[in-house]
A and B are shown apart, each in its own frame.
Chain A
Amino acid sequence: MLSPDLRSNRPRYRIGHAPFIGQESRPERRSRPVTDPFAEAADDPGGRRALKTTLAFFLHWWYLITALTYQENVSERFLPKAAAAAAIAFPEGDVTDMDISIRDAVADDFEIVVALDDGSKKDDKPGYWRGIFEHYVYENNPDRIFLVAEKAGTVVGFIVGEVRAWEFGSPPCGWVFAVTVTPEVRELGIGMRMFDEIGRRLKKMGVTTLRTMVDLDNKRALSFFRGIGMRSGRYIELEKHLLND
């Protein structure tokens, strides 16, 4: 089926329904004289009818061929554009075919992780990430998971999570507290692949629920978590601003 862009550009007549002379759907043809010098020279009405029929026959095929050519032109004109648009959205086809691998983070990933982190307080973050690497990468604690996504050997995203037990009175559950994908390869399912992998590992540890917390204004992250099936849970985050007296 034609894409919406193509649909609006398709001819007003369709193959198999090429109009004949005088048909309502072709006003430009309707205004053209249908008389022919050869027909005018013929005296007998039968000859005129035969000529008209012949003319109609040729015109029918002319419309048919024009319609076919027009459609081909439309295809040539718009399909590459559509293909280019698809190429922007999916540079290497379906994400399952892409050269994406998910692996445990290693010490050498530190700098790229800090660079990928799009948090607002950039200056404070290296210290924060040093602590995270210490506890989630170097310690090799099985309850703590730090994964990175690689595309063609380059780290393009990361996800961090762990099992937390009895925090806020909750039985052990999985928490994902950081996930990022570099803007150039977003919306290709890489975040979902990382989330699936961390979910698989956390499930193996025996947890049945995953939780996270997202800033109310972070629509992108909220939409991502919503998109992979997360919903408001049983715990409500409350806070109070501590004012200086």
Chain B
Amino acid sequence: MKVLLADENSQRAGALARLLEADTSLEVILLEAHTSLMDAVRSHAPDIVLVDISRADRDALDSVRALSASGLERPVALFVDEDDEALMEDAFAAGVCSYNVLDTPVKNVKPLLRSAIALYDRFRKTNAELLAARKTLSDRETIDRAKFLFMKQERCREEDAYRWLRKQAMQTSRKIIDVATEYLAHHTRTPKA
């Protein structure tokens, strides 16, 4: 069975390809960069297309069935498992879906889709952790900058500066990072001439 992976995230596409290639009955093709989904489907004639749902050209595959000019001999359509709603919801939540050649038996698709969901989830989690880590780092930097500016302005110690930020946050029911950001914005504004 020929599977086309359409994902602009080359790292994720590569990881999914390695995962699927463990099954020797599958021939896995990666969509080349700057190739449209339709062109790739036309030239490779896959049985299944696993698509990253953030790909804007996915709309073209939606139309294949009705568009006689699409030039595809074997019509493809969005794979829908009517009996397994959770699988479909998980797939869209993870950001992946499958387009199948209409005569491909459904039983072949679900394990593939499950592998893709697991992998996409893993990538999403790693990405979210990375973003959270970056945010924590940048929050800490902002608080430090506000603290040092306060120390300079008020000629006080670091503990006093932090205590002042924390007190402001408690009194106004906000986070320390928000108070720090506001303090910096207020005190580093360029004075008008």
Bound pair (A, B): no
